Structure 1
Amino acid sequence: MDTKILIVDDEALLVKGLKYSLEQDGYEVDAAYDGSEALDKANRENYSLIILDLMLPEIDGLEVCQKIREKSQVPIIMLTAKGEDINKILGLEYGADDYLTKPFNILELKARIKAILRRASTKETKIGEQIIQLDNFTINTLGRKVTVNGKDINLTAKEFDLLLLLASNPGKVFTREELLEIIWGYEYFGDLRTVDVHIRRLREKIEENSSQAEYILTKWGVGYYFRPNS
């Protein structure tokens, strides 16, 4: 399997266990034990996915995530301690795609890895409409680029997926549970905040006034939908 995963954590035993378990599933696994080493390896190697601990020596996980995002859209799963602010982890400044709270079940981590990699593979091979033009939005589905009023918008992988799904189905209301299943590809054990965080960040990037959204609207008590102006 030509899939390489980078594990970044300063807990040597945890890294050893994860590495062994993932290698048993056929993944090629690399490891880094502090933020500086993680950035060095992320800049030199081409990883399919990065598992990144929030609390790291030298450079913390949020800064590592932010620096990686400046150059790459590689999927990042953040490992966090209980009580960490999910808004920051999945936020505008950092752009992690997913998170797990320690201690976690290795089977759940593997399920999330498989879902992310499966979506990435589908995106690479899917043949279809490349450009979606809707109002002031231009969505390049293959290049995964978005412009609003001619301005490039820097979206994380999940933000792009959400916008593409909603904009491709104007007027259709998706429940948060449906969005979790479609975009994340697995049951999220009831943590619907993930959808809310991504929707809020997406609004901050594409709406002229995120507190009075024009495009991504809330159907109270149900979910979210995209409303074109035209």
Structure 2
Amino acid sequence: MTAHVRVLVVDDEPQLLRALRINLNARGFAVTTAATGAEALSAAARTNPQVVVLDLGLPDIDGLTVLEGLRGWTNVPVIVLSARSDAADKVAALDAGADDYVTKPFGMEEFLARLRAAVRRGSVLADTPEVPVVDAGAFVVDLGAKSVTRDGAAVHLTPTEWGILEILVRHEGKLVGQKEILQSVWGPSYGTQTNYLRVYLASLRRKLEDDPAHPKHLLTEAGMGYRFVRA
């Protein structure tokens, strides 16, 4: 699965860059590295990576600014690396469009598992399974084409946002538990990361609901999970 997957690794620690390059190359990834935010944005435009690993503490541009720059033109999965373990920092990164957040120092095997999960999420948009078009009134979800339109205009979702929306739409009318969504979209080790869901549901509502503060379609069942209804 990893053969020829293009990874951009952005970090200003030479030893970490070297370790990641060696480990990823050994597993068949095609690795590009950058040590500054400016290099990262240039390399991303040049190589069109399939996943980005981004340190927040860069010497020239703040990592969140780099992330926002990427999100201006690509929905590539982004894994944020940071020495900051505060929950507010994680939420800020997720809110800016990160798909995952890894706190330094980290174990290489866990990191590689998260990277593989991010690659899978990114490839989801390229898959073409069967199935229906779901018209919720305010927006239309085409499960076969992996696309969403609102008032006839395409809505750009990140792979993670799509993953959450898809599982809810496929279980239309049914409560989908927080743990089920987390493990389906992020992987088996994410069952307790409920702050991820809050951030992404808020983003989906901003993009899809007429009144995000009073959603009609993407409903929260407090403490349990979420439900999609056509309303």
What is the rounded CA distance, in whole Å, between the counterparts of 1:5 and 1:111 in structure 2?
14
Other-structure match for 2:92: 88
| Pairwise CA distance, 1:105 | 1.5
What is the rounded CA distance, in whole Å, between the counterparts of 1:144 and 1:222 in structure 2?
27
Structure 1: gaps (5+ residues)? none
What is the rounded CA distance, in whole Å, between the counterparts of 1:125 and 1:151 in structure 2?
22
What is the rounded CA distance, in whole Å, between the counterparts of 1:42 and 1:12 in structure 2?
19
Letter in 1 for 2:92: K
Q: State whether structure 2 residue 220 is matched by structure 1 residue 218.
A: yes
Write the deviation string for residues 85-107 of structure 1: whole angstroms up to 9, x where unpaired: 2221111xx21111111111211
Q: Is the 8 A contact 1:34 1:59 kept in 2?
A: yes
RMSD: 1.9
Aligned length: 227
What is the rounded CA distance, in whole Å, between the counterparts of 2:138 and 2:221 in structure 1?
22
Other-structure match for 1:153: 155
Per the normalisation by structure 2, the TM-score is 0.90
What is the rounded CA distance, in whole Å, between the counterparts of 1:75 and 1:221 in structure 2?
28
Other-structure match for 1:42: 44
Structure 1 residues 151 and 121: alpha-carbon distance in aligned structure 2, compared to 1, 3 A threshold: closer
Q: Is the 8 A contact 1:123 1:142 kept in 2?
A: no
Structure 2: gaps (5+ residues)? none
Other-structure match for 1:65: 67
Q: What's the secondary structure of 1:103's corresponding residue?
A: coil
| Pairwise CA distance, 1:38 | 0.3
Other-structure match for 1:185: 187
Letter in 2 for 1:89: A
Identity of aligned residues (%): 34
What is the rounded CA distance, in whole Å, between the counterparts of 1:106 and 1:172 in structure 2?
38
Letter in 1 for 2:94: L
What is the rounded CA distance, in whole Å, between the counterparts of 1:226 and 1:125 in structure 2?
22
Q: What's the secondary structure of 1:211's corresponding residue?
A: coil
Other-structure match for 2:55: 53
Moved more, 20-29 or 3-12: 20-29
| Pairwise CA distance, 1:194 | 0.9
Other-structure match for 2:131: 129
Other-structure match for 2:199: 197
Other-structure match for 1:31: 33
Moved more, 101-110 or 124-133: 124-133
